[in-house]
Amino acid sequence: MKDKNYRQMEDYEVIGNNSFMFQWCCDCHLRHIWNYQIVRGEKPEDDVVVIRGIDDRYATKLRKYYIKNKKKK
């Protein structure tokens, strides 16, 4: 049975180690910046993925301004 709180995206993105991904959230209209870093351990099972996320408040503010002014036209 499929959980209604989650939905699978049809596409995917491949990024390199210690790279950034810029995402516009389709639900909250915020811009998120994600950093992914693979940290290798001594053994393969010790490998970890470090994920850091921040919201880009400046880009979000500009998008809201754009959407607001687009509706006025």
10-residue mean pLDDT series, the chain (73 residues): 58 76 75 87 90 87 86 70
Between CA 55 and CA 61 the distance in angstroms is: 11
Vertex 39 angle, CA 37 and 40, to 5°? 145
Among residues 6, 59, 14, 62, which one has the least CA distance to residue 33? 59
Between CA 50 and CA 62 the distance in angstroms is: 29
12 backbone φψ class: left, alpha, beta (φ>0; ψ -120 to 50): beta
pLDDT of residue 42: 94
pLDDT of residue 54: 87
pLDDT of residue 43: 92
**Every domain of the chain and the residues it spans:** 19-72
